[in-house]
Structure 1
Amino acid sequence: MIKKIIAAVFLFGLMTVVIVQAMEKDDKQVLNSTSIQTEDLPGLGVGLKAPDFELKNLAGETVKLSDYAGQKVMLNFWATWCPPCKKEIPDMQKFYTEQGDKVVILAVNIDPENDVAGFAKEMNASFPILLDEKDRVSKLYKILTIPTTFFIDEKGVITYKHLSAMSIELMEKQSGL
């Protein structure tokens, strides 16, 4: 009887170790993967025409996506309270500083009731920040998680979509630079 209990405890322990290791391996693959199948992601997909929109920037000026027709656009949805968003802002700033004349960054903030201008100043973000005050654009783009980033080509077609924070290397790769 004792041998059966010891064997059962041993098997249970062994199964637990195998399951934990498998879960850790899957987590690492997800964290390290940049080849997520974009057709499996929720919301608007790659190959679709990016819907035009109109929002105010931090200075109160109206900005339209169509104002940037003929240019590459990185369209990013984010919030001040979002840890992955905070993580990617320094890379976005570096990308903007290095490639700002080749790729337009439009960072759509989804929580404009917070101090977005103060947050941008604190993060040293000088790229254009747009305020989605009525959630119209985030609904139009079917945003379910943030950050979500779309790369839009010169013809206005979505060429890449990414959920979660992006590194500068991935920004450069997906922008074609």
Structure 2
Amino acid sequence: MKKGMLAILFIAGLVVYGGYDYYSKSAMDTGKAVEAGDLETGTQKGQLAPDFVLNDLKGNPVHLSDLEGKTVLVNFWATWCPPCRVEMPHMQKFYEDYTAKDVVIVGVNLTHTEEKRDKIQTFVDDQQLTFPIVMDLDGSVTQQYQVVAYPTTYLLDARGVIREKFRGAINYEIMKDAVSKLR
């Protein structure tokens, strides 16, 4: 049984890496200073991240565009996803350490894939997550961001431009290194 699970996790990791490798090579990143208004909106590096409005767990709307001026990690995750569960303590620690440095994490829960919505709040409480968690009820934002692997995290600079896209779980050091390259 354990060998079967390990094999499945290994294959899943290969699929995630293959997708990451494929999309990262096709991503655009010119490195030129360009005004955000001059950029095409899209989901590739160097493009302006698509705006969205999703409700948090209390029903309050959260607009991505309201976070302009801050560095933002947009993390797509689900409670049933083992790599997402492993990643969450790293996200929380990073949020605690970097929120004073104008870095925000927005956790976009893949609510349309959850078995029961009440599991989301239970998970957030158990993990003691304090960063904003929003719910993608119908999967429209997940589809808009072309999320094909869970978790997926987009790193946006203060202008809302995508600077990195990570498919699969990332840890504190990866977040720290990626954000430090923006400063």
Classify the TM-score, shorter chain. 0.7 to 0.9
Residue 100 of structure 1 aligns to a residue whose secondary structure is helix
Aligned residue for 1:21? none
RMSD: 2.3
2:43–2:50 CA contact under 8 A, matched in 1 = no
Aligned residue for 1:23? none
Residue 125 of structure 2 aligns to a residue whose secondary structure is helix
Structure 1 gap ranges (5+): 1-26
Residue by residue, what CA displacement relative to the aligned partner does 1:42-91 show, whole Å, maximum 9, x if unpaired? x9211111000000001110000001011110000000000000000000
Aligned residue for 2:103? 103
Say whether residues 1:39 and 2:25 are aligned partners: yes
Q: Paired residues, what number?
A: 146
Cα distance in 1 between the residues matched to 2:78 and 2:21:
25
Identical residues among aligned pairs (%): 38
Residue 97 of structure 2 aligns to a residue whose secondary structure is helix
Equivalent positions of 1:19-38 (< 5 A) are: 38=24
Aligned residue for 1:154? 158
Cα deviation, residue 39, structure 1: 3.0
Equivalent positions of 1:79-90 (< 5 A) are: 79-90=78-89
Q: Normalization by structure 2: what TM-score?
A: 0.73
Aligned residue for 1:137? 141
Greater Rg, structure 1 or structure 2? Answer: 1
Structure 2 gap ranges (5+): 1-13, 28-41
Residue by residue, what CA displacement relative to the aligned partner does 1:86-134 show, whole Å, maximum 9, x if unpaired? 0000000100111112211000000254321111111111111000001
Cα deviation, residue 36, structure 1: 8.7
Cα distance in 2 between the residues matched to 1:36 and 1:106:
25
The letter of the residue matching 2:52 is F
The letter of the residue matching 1:110 is L
Deviates more, 1:157-166 or 1:97-106: 97-106
The letter of the residue matching 1:106 is V
1:50–1:157 CA contact under 8 A, matched in 2 = yes
Residue 176 of structure 2 aligns to a residue whose secondary structure is helix
Aligned residue for 1:68? 67
Say whether residues 1:118 and 2:122 are aligned partners: yes
Residue 56 of structure 1 aligns to a residue whose secondary structure is strand
Question: Relative to 1, partners in 2 of residues 1:158 and 1:147: Cα closer, same or farther, differing over 3 Å?
Answer: same
Q: Normalization by structure 1: what TM-score?
A: 0.76
The letter of the residue matching 1:103 is V
Residue 84 of structure 2 aligns to a residue whose secondary structure is helix
Aligned residue for 1:165? 169
